[in-house]
Amino acid sequence: MAREAVTHMDVESLLFQYRMTNHRQIRARQAQTLAQLSAIPFDYLPSIAAHSGPFLPRNPDASRSFIAQSEAQLNQILPIAFCPPSPGEPQEDFEDFKDLLRACRQELSSSRNRSYTAREEQVINSVAHSIEKKLVKMAVENNVYLAKLAEQAERYEEMVECMKNVASADQELSVEERNLLSVAYKNVIGARRASWRIVTSIEQKEESKGNESQVGLIKEYRQKIEAELAKICEDILEVLDEHLIKSAQSGESKVFYHKMKGDYHRYLAEFALGDKRKVSADKSLEAYKAATEVATTDLAPTHPIRLGLALNFSVFYYEILNSPDQACHLAKQAFDDAIAELDTLSEESYKDSTLIMQLLRDNLTLWTSSEAEPSGGESGAATTETKEAGDVASSAAPAEPEKAAE
């Protein structure tokens, strides 16, 4: 099996990928797998010659140091690589991969105290690269499957953890993976935002009645919800900054992630006070502007992600910055631009785009009525319920997990 040219992969990177896939199903098989491997006789050089390909080491000294440290780490990692192939993965390629890893393990075990030849250094690094690639692929597939399963079971906190693992692979997510991530966090944060609004409304009513003892209890409970909200927001914002935004390649992905960043800073601003509110609002504005800049050049006016950005950005102006004129201008501009190009709308995005356009129009109607007033002051709870892009059920919503091949 041909191997592509690779560069040095350090031990910490491999161990990170090992931990990322270290769920119970895999851990239960580790001892058995290692016992089986240790009993397999294998002729090192002929097999390596058959399976390894060209390699261009960037840093031989680093490679040599890596080899000297690798035996213990590879013994931890190897069991994961011996999981059965994923559904649809060619069995032949998987067997080749197993053979290569067996050879690597035997060579490391038997030749640890002698100097490695240049050829052996190439082999070890090729194997390390193969392990890393295989682990990432398996980890992503396993976590995506478990995320779909958690969604079906409505266990959204676990769905979040699975998609955080996928995001940590530092690869651009597919549309399905992106939607799974968004759905997971939207459900986790959405339930608490709804709770916060209800509790805040009750608190205001009790304050107006002068029930100080109840107000004290309600305030403590509200602060508990706010702590949960803050933790969730900070969690996804770290994932966005450390992984997703850095890995984004397409304009669509960049808009999606910057919009998410703006959304979750906005959620922080909804309940924050004073300087904390200003900091969150400023970061939200910065993220929305970054998303808008890319969307204007890379996405059509009818694209559902661009429309969703305009919808949420306008809600930010209305509820957080108390700028109804700016909110209405942004929403109307997005709606009019989409109407002008409605005939170019693709069939696959027609449903999502038209639903978001309807939400834009609903918000415009609400905001321009004589009764509506901005609700984003430091008092907290909204008096009018504006619509966000998250209120739309995406047509690309994740399907049920596929059954494993029998």
Q: Which domains does the chain have, with CATH numbers?
A: 11-143 (no CATH), 160-391 (1.20.190.20)
Residue 346: pLDDT band (50, 70, 90) is confident
Q: How much is the pLDDT for 103? A: 57
User: Is residue 20 pLDDT above 90, yes or no?
Assistant: no
Q: How much is the pLDDT for 136? A: 72
HEC-encoded secondary structure of the chain: CCCCCCCCCCHHHHHHHHHHCCCHHHHCCHHHHHHHHHCCCCCHHHHHHHHCCCCCCCCHHHHHHHHHHHHHHHHHHHHHHCCCCCCCCCHHHHHHHHHHHHHHHHHHHHCCCCCCCHHHHHHHHHHHHHHHHHHHHHHHHHHHHHHHHHHHCCCHHHHHHHHHHHHCCCCCCCHHHHHHHHHHHHHHHHHHHHHHHHHHHHHHHHHHHCCHHHHHHHHHHHHHHHHHHHHHHHHHHHHHHHHHHHHCCCHHHHHHHHHHHHHHHHHHHHHCCHHHHHHHHHHHHHHHHHHHHHHHHHCCCCCHHHHHHHHHHHHHHHHHCCCHHHHHHHHHHHHHHHHHCHHHCCHHHHHHHHHHHHHHHHHHHHHHCCCCCCCCCCCCCCCCCCCCHHHCCCCCCCCCCCCCCC
Q: How much is the pLDDT for 43? A: 33
Q: In this predicted model, what pLDDT tens digit does every residue of 30-43 receive, in sequence order? A: 444 444 433 333 33
User: Is residue 68 pLDDT above 60, yes or no?
Assistant: no
Q: How much is the pLDDT for 387? A: 72
Q: How much is the pLDDT for 265? A: 98
For 26-32, what is the mean pLDDT? 43
Q: How much is the pLDDT for 363? A: 96
For 137-151, what is the mean pLDDT? 90
Q: How much is the pLDDT for 350? A: 87
Q: How much is the pLDDT for 372? A: 53
Q: How much is the pLDDT for 129? A: 65
Residue 120: pLDDT band (50, 70, 90) is low
pLDDT > 90 fraction of the chain, expressed in percent and rounded:
50
Q: How much is the pLDDT for 63? A: 42
Q: In this predicted model, what pLDDT tens digit does every residue of 353-377 receive, in sequence order? A: 999 999 999 999 999 985 555 554 4
User: Is residue 406 pLDDT above 60, yes or no?
Assistant: no
Residue 381: helix, strand or coil by DSSP?
A: coil
> Across the chain, what does the average pLDDT equal?
74
Q: Are 349 and 395 in contact (CB under 8 A)?
A: yes
Residue 48: pLDDT band (50, 70, 90) is very low
Q: How much is the pLDDT for 193? A: 97
pLDDT > 70 fraction of the chain, expressed in percent and rounded:
59
Whether pTM > 0.75 for this model: the answer is: no
Among 283-292, 320-329, 392-401, name the one with the lowest average pLDDT.
392-401
In this predicted model, which residue has the larger pLDDT, 108 or 250? 250
